[in-house]
Structure 1
Amino acid sequence: MNKIKHLLHSYSEWIKAVLAPLGPWGMLAFAAVDGSFMGLPLDAIFVGYVYHDRSRFWLYILLGATGSALGSIVLYVIGYTGGEVLLRKRLSPERFEKIHASFDKHEFWALMFPAMLPPPTPFKIVVLAAAAFEMRFTHFLLAIFAGRFVRFLIEALLTLAFGPQIVGLVGGLFRHHLKWILAGVALLAVVWLIWWRRRKPAANSTNKNAAEEDDPALRSKQTLIS
């Protein structure tokens, strides 16, 4: 285990050395490559940038989210042209239909939530699915940007408050308890949707009553009736 950690640390340090000449733009380039086809230690690199340049953590959040969205265009093209065939080969029929149904109901959230979660979330599978199910391109980019923005914001705040090691601890929790965490996220999403749907009719009713009170004609009509 220690040997694996040492190898990952050495790999991350080598990547940092390669990206160093690019300055902050290295975060954009690294996130774009990670979002396209290669699985890279994105969180470790992002945390390194934030920890060593605290005053510009907002810049790294924006660059990381933008790079991830731009890099995912490669997977969008692949998924749009032949993603369904690829997904059917890699996923069971039940899993394929479940993902398809989630995009039919709430395509934006079906992509944004996985974009927020760290590995081992099968994010690239979800990206391919979004393209295969013909998600609108602008919504596709916005969902990935929003999800990554939230993820990097949380990681940056944790790093600034507790140091870079806290992100590794949280990542370990995800790796060992992914199913429970996903179940919790799904439960929160359902609760939020129920609250939002109940709130909408109530808000419409309130607005309607306010409009009636402000309408002189309606007030005079109600007075005559009474």
Structure 2
Amino acid sequence: MKHFFVTLMAKWHLLIMPALLKLGFWGVGLVAIIDTSSLPVPMDALLALLVWQDKGHFWIYCLVASVGSAIGGLVPYGLGRAGGEIFLLKRVNRERFEAMRKRFEKQEFLAVMVPSMLPPPTPWKAFVFAAGVFEMRIVPFMAAVFAGRLVRWLVLSWLVMKLGPTAVDSVANVVKEHLALFLGALVLVFVGIGVWVVLRRRRSGELVG
């Protein structure tokens, strides 16, 4: 079994991915679909190289890759929607599950968009799986993934054009060295959004009253 997966990954990196990339922009979209749906691909490094080689069309690479990520994300999202509730209920009780659902629903768009903006090792698929478990609507889900990925890769393209392809390694090293800080900032963002939503609802209630 281990030999099978090693062979599969070798064929993917040596044969399949180069063949897809020969399709140009559409190939990048297909690779992005595969990356978010199944086999992990170093999309940042790949996109950085393509942008460096074709700076004039950086925005098309970012756009098509973002669309591909949104489409591919439907696979882990669908898994969460199909059986994620049972999976979570085996690990938490119903009361805690409903509390998690309410917290997610208060800022569901940003709960997907913000992780989509962050580079690895952000546990992106966990947030996507949760979006399926808590039945986030498909169109807002895809829009959140698309928006997050687009911001991420536009920023990456700008860094590549300023610093060269090594910008990917620089960003990755910063994230790894300060992972706790990044995750802490992510939590603060969600808490801040939650507080803002609560205050806004209270003000709306006061105006209605």
* TM class, shorter-length: 0.7 to 0.9
Report the more deviating stretch, 133-142 or 181-190.
Answer: 181-190
Q: Distance in 1 between matches of 2:43 and 2:93?
A: 29
Shift of 1:60: 0.6
Aligned ranges for residues 41-56 of structure 1 at < 5 Å? 41-56=42-57
Contact 1:102 1:110 survives alignment (8 Å): no
Shift of 1:112: 0.7
Shift of 1:85: 2.8
Q: Distance in 2 between matches of 1:41 and 1:48?
A: 11
Q: Distance in 1 between matches of 2:99 and 2:198?
A: 23
Higher RCO by CA contacts (8 Å cutoff, separation 6 or greater): 2
CA 103–198 in structure 1, closer or farther in 2 if over 3 Å, else same: closer
Partner of residue 106, structure 1 = 107
CA 130–191 in structure 1, closer or farther in 2 if over 3 Å, else same: closer
CA 198–49 in structure 1, closer or farther in 2 if over 3 Å, else same: same
Per-residue CA shift, 1:148-181, capped at 9, x if unaligned?
0111111011001111102211111112321112
Contact 1:16 1:45 survives alignment (8 Å): no
- Extract unaligned runs of 5+ from structure 2: 1-11, 204-209
Report the more deviating stretch, 187-196 or 141-150.
Answer: 187-196
Letter in 1 for 2:79: I
Report the more deviating stretch, 167-176 or 189-198.
Answer: 189-198
The TM-score, its normalising length taken from structure 2, stands at: 0.78
Contact 2:37 2:72 survives alignment (8 Å): yes
- Extract unaligned runs of 5+ from structure 1: 1-10, 203-226
Shift of 1:99: 5.4
Matched, 1:127 2:128: yes
Shift of 1:39: 1.5
Q: Distance in 2 between matches of 1:90 and 1:120?
A: 24
Contact 1:84 1:129 survives alignment (8 Å): no
The TM-score, its normalising length taken from structure 1, stands at: 0.72
Q: Rg: which structure is higher?
A: 1
Aligned partner of residue 145 in structure 1, secondary structure: helix
Q: Distance in 1 between matches of 2:123 and 2:135?
A: 19
Question: In the comparison of the two structures, how many residue pairs are matched?
Answer: 193
Shift of 1:53: 0.6
Q: Distance in 2 between matches of 1:90 and 1:196?
A: 29
Partner of residue 216, structure 1 = none
Partner of residue 68, structure 2 = 67
Partner of residue 85, structure 2 = 84
Per-residue CA shift, 1:78-128, capped at 9, x if unaligned?
1111022334568999x9788545412211111111111111111111111
Q: CA RMSD in A?
A: 3.3
Partner of residue 115, structure 1 = 116
